[in-house]
Amino acid sequence: MELKLTLNGRAVAASVEADTLLIDFLRAQGCLSVKRGCETANCGLCTVLMDGTPVLSCSVLALRAAGHHVQTLEGLQEEAADFTAFIADQGAEQCGFCNPGFVMNTVALLRENPDPTDDEIRAYLAGNLCRCSGYEGQLRGIRAYLDHKKGRG
């Protein structure tokens, strides 16, 4: 079946099988930031933005993305660069495996709510599993970034 979508700002057309998962399609397109973790839609490692909304690409058929705009971390480098340094500064990217999912969800959060409370940040990032940091480092990093943007940091 023919799949046409916009991937990181460029038109993409490819032939896919009806049961191809979006994660597999994206990785075949060179988007290696999209990682396979639990394969049960529980860890957040495969998070991408479809039309600006976070989706778990391990639980979406590629053909469901037809006609949509899909963004991966590869397509959000400039937007993400602003706050990833703050997350790293807090020691929150120890092994880095979960980082793309956190970054994708943080981008979506800040687009939706540019001034979230700590509880709103925690709620938005709740679906991302991290085995190294305990999540507080990510929260501190995002908060430090937001404070810096407001001139308080």
| pLDDT tens sequence across 75-126 | 999 888 878 888 778 776 667 777 888 889 889 999 999 999 999 988 888 8
Encoded amino acid at 37, one letter: G
Among 61-65, 118-122, 127-131, the minimum mean pLDDT is found in: 127-131
The confidence score (pLDDT) of residue 88 equals 79
pLDDT of residue 134: 67
In this predicted model, which residue has the larger pLDDT, 138 or 18? 18
Q: What percent of the chain has pLDDT over 70?
A: 95
Contact (CB, 8 A) for 55 and 72: no
pLDDT for residue 92: 65
Domains and CATH numbers, the chain: 2-74 (3.10.20.30), 76-149 (1.10.150.120)
Nearest Cα to Cα of residue 18 among 61, 70, 69: 61
Sequence-distant (6+) residues with CB within 8 A of 38 are 45, 58, 129
The pTM for the full model equals 0.88
Label residue 43 by pLDDT band (50, 70, 90): confident
Helix runs in 7-135, H state only: 22-28, 77-89, 99-112, 118-124
